[in-house]
Amino acid sequence: MAKVIVVTSGKGGVGKTTTSAAFAAGLALRGHKTVVIDFDVGLRNLDLVMGCERRVVFDFINVINGDANLNQALIRDKRIDNLYIFPTSQTRDKEALKRDGVDRVMAELKKDFDYIICDSPAGIEHGALTALYHADAAVIVTNPEVSSVRDSDRIIGILASKSRRAEKREKPVEEHLLLTRYSPDRVQKGEMLSVEDVKEILSVPLLGIIPESETVLKASNTGMPVILDPGSPAGRAYEDAVARFVGEQREMRFQLPERRGFLRGWFGRAAS
């Protein structure tokens, strides 16, 4: 049975598409047939990060509308067996993600894939809620700064109330926290929140810490998931995160000294 993983956040620019690409590649490298879907209609970027922008002919919206079939729109990655990219439209409105059409496409994908990765838009607009609705698991991507953590707190609440699993009173969506763009030096200077600060506020199991690294931008600009760069600290951190997701024990690298209680008064849930 396929597992649907939504990569989500409350705030833009935290690394969701980088994470979606790395996660999909990591799962495929482990032998799992994986597809990664771009839900950000109108602001398509997944195909660029995956290096297949010139191969896009049909997209998610074409399949929803019946203008193309799934096999015509799926792009097979040239580097990794078992990895497919499902781009979205650059020209349509987000309302083109019609619920019944998305339901039908997701049901079709579940017949053929082990993992379906949904690269969600930021926040709680239509595309984000549509991706979130289908989630069996969620990777909540956040930066170690107050506004990003606060917005992620809201997304966690929506996962608990607006998903298909919540609607049908099924087992809750699995929640995993991924902390991105993390800098030990800046934490020590008090310019970033610590791991413990973020965990204390969000109360979500930590899947991984992705260090701030120039290799992420380089990988995105060359159309390669950063997990494929063996010299990248961020790539190694994503590989660790994927391993933990599938049940392996890995040391949590890039950990920083704890600074407990720094944000206890910021959020009602933390103070209660």
pLDDT of residue 54: 94
* pTM, to two decimals: 0.90
pLDDT tens digit at each of 272 positions of the chain: 799 999 999 888 899 999 999 999 999 999 999 999 999 987 889 999 999 999 999 999 999 999 999 999 999 999 999 999 999 988 786 778 888 999 999 999 999 999 999 999 888 888 889 999 999 999 999 999 999 999 999 999 999 898 989 889 999 999 999 999 999 888 888 899 999 999 999 999 999 999 999 999 999 999 999 999 989 999 999 999 999 999 999 999 887 544 445 454 555 544 43
What does the alpha-carbon distance between residue 78 and residue 231 come to, in Å, rounded to a whole number? 21
pLDDT of residue 42: 79
Q: Which of 163, 249, 155 is nearest to 202 (CA)?
A: 155
pLDDT of residue 202: 93
- Reported residue count of the chain is 272
